[in-house]
Amino acid sequence: MGSIIKVNEYKDFGNNAIMTSDGAGNVTVNAQGLQNTPAFHVTLSAEQAIANSTETKIQFNTETLDTDNCYDNSTNYRFTPNVSGQYFFGSAIRFQTATDAEQCFLTIKKNGTTDIIQAYFKNYYYTEQQVSVITNMNGSSDYIEFYVHQNTGGSVNLPNTSQHQFGYGYKLIGA
């Protein structure tokens, strides 16, 4: 035999609301430690040219999600979380070319210089590349940026297709 406990608010010993319910099954998590925020998802609003043999920052300028206004989509194109912890980051790109090329890279950098993950790939007829990583962020000065490199012999565009060009990240719970 089971029991049912009915409550509309869970509180901790300090009388702080941890979780509330509106009575219709919609739960709001109030405790910061139980939320996957800050979080963001960004895309390109226009094609971006990537010069041959040059590491280039991807200028993701369209926010589809930015829970805590931590992503700069107009100047530095970077995510600087305001909460410390472990974060999951990812990105995907596809060059707008059928030209085959060796030595293509998709990189997630921390603080502008540290490559925390780099995916090497060969571009074969519109190949899409994805990369993801978990890293610690201090919640004040650490930031994440996305970079790409290609050597097709000329400039190549990243098209503004949100299903192929995007970056994202969020704070992990319990990590």
pLDDT digits (tens, 9 = 90+) for 47-73: 999 999 999 999 999 999 999 999 999
Where is pLDDT greater, at 169 or 14? 169
Reply yes or no on whether the pLDDT at 105 is more than 80: yes
Q: Is residue 70 within 8 Å of residue 82, measured between CB atoms?
A: yes
SS3 23: coil
What pLDDT was estimated at residue 125? 63
Measuring CA to CA, which residue among 14, 169, 150, 3 is closest to residue 78?
169
Reply yes or no on whether the pLDDT at 148 is more than 70: yes
Where is pLDDT greater, at 36 or 141? 141
Q: Where in the chain is the domain with CATH 2.60.120.40?
A: 36-171
How would residue 11 be classed by pLDDT, with cut points 50, 70 and 90? confident
What is the CATH number assigned to the segment(s) 36-171? 2.60.120.40
What pLDDT was estimated at residue 38? 96
Where is pLDDT greater, at 137 or 16? 137
Question: What distance in Å separates the CA atoms of residue 66 and residue 73, rounded to the nearest whole number?
Answer: 10
